């Protein structure tokens, strides 16, 4: 019965998880190329009146400028969210804003469904991003997100907060436990991919070999399946 509930939970919460990852802009990497020594400082998911709030603070084992480059590479957001099937950069209504629209596809057992997210991304300076969901062309009634990246020696301190209120309903049977468990897992995986690609870019630059990054980014398994943070297992037990 527990496994059936878990599968049901995955089906219903996948759209919400996808959007949380899309607002950024489910885990082994080839660790021979990327060494991970990240620190998970905080991870929480809460819900009130059908609005989901996520907050994560972590130190990634990559310089802050490389981490920022990965997060702001909007056209290639599928590198940190493999569920994305299409990406559009739309005309923005004001200067300094990038309007992004993503579509993601999810398959669980016999079920298949798509989720759309669109938002305005403001690069506010000092490695900070402010993101606002556009409900008219999204699967969500409202949403916002924040990224802050700061140097931590030769690593990066990263804060991500997001809120989303989906237009679809989450079946009460799933419960708070399954929502938190799945959203935490997906967030950890996304951060892991960010770190992996940032490390790959650093490795390329240190080797002065432009072809190295091309090979790494073209091989999906390099940064899609991995162990993530050392603290991931502990987080899932909470």
**pLDDT tens per residue, range 166-203:** 887 655 545 566 667 777 888 898 999 999 999 988 88
Whole-number pLDDT of residue 111: 55
Whole-number pLDDT of residue 51: 87
pTM above 0.85, yes or no: no
Starting at the edge strand found earlier in the chain, the sheet holding 51-60 runs 39-48, 51-60, 155-166, 140-152, 128-133, 111-123, 97-108, 84-90
Whole-number pLDDT of residue 100: 97
Alpha carbon distance 86, 105 (integer Å): 9
Intervals of the chain under pLDDT 70 = 1-37, 106-113, 169-179, 208-222, 224-238
Rg of the Cα atoms in the chain: 17
Specify the number of domains making up the chain: 1
Whole-number pLDDT of residue 14: 47
Domain, as residue range, for 73 = 2-236
Place of tokens 């409202």: 142
Residue 143 belongs to a domain with what CATH number? 3.30.530.20
Strand, helix or coil for residue 126: coil
Whole-number pLDDT of residue 31: 27
């Amino acid at each position: 019965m527990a496994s059936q509930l878990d599968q049901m939970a995955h089906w219903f919460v996948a759209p919400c998880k996808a959007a949380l990852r899309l607002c950024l802009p489910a885990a082994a990497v080839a660790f021979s190329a990327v060494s991970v020594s990240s620190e998970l400082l905080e991870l929480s998911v809460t819900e009130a009146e059908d609005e989901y709030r996520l907050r994560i603070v972590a130190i990634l084992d990559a310089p802050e400028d490389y981490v920022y480059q990965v997060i702001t590479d909007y056209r290639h957001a599928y590198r940190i969210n493999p569920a994305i099937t299409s990406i559009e950069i739309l005309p923005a209504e004001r200067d300094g804003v990038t309007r992004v629209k993503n579509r993601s596809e999810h398959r669980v057992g016999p079920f298949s469904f798509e989720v759309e997210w669109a938002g305005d991304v403001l690069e506010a300076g000092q490695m900070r991003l402010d993101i606002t969901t556009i409900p008219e062309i999204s699967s969500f009634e409202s949403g916002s997100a924040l990224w802050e990246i700061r140097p931590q020696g030769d690593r990066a301190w990263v804060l991500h907060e997001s809120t989303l209120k989906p237009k679809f309903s989450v079946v009460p049977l799933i419960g708070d436990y399954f929502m938190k468990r799945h959203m935490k897992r997906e967030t950890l995986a996304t951060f892991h991919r960010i770190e992996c690609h940032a490390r790959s870019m650093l490795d390329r630059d240190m080797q002065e070999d432009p072809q190295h990054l091309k090979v790494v980014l073209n091989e999906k398994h390099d940064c899609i399946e991995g162990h993530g943070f050392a603290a991931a297992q502990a987080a899932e037990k909470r």
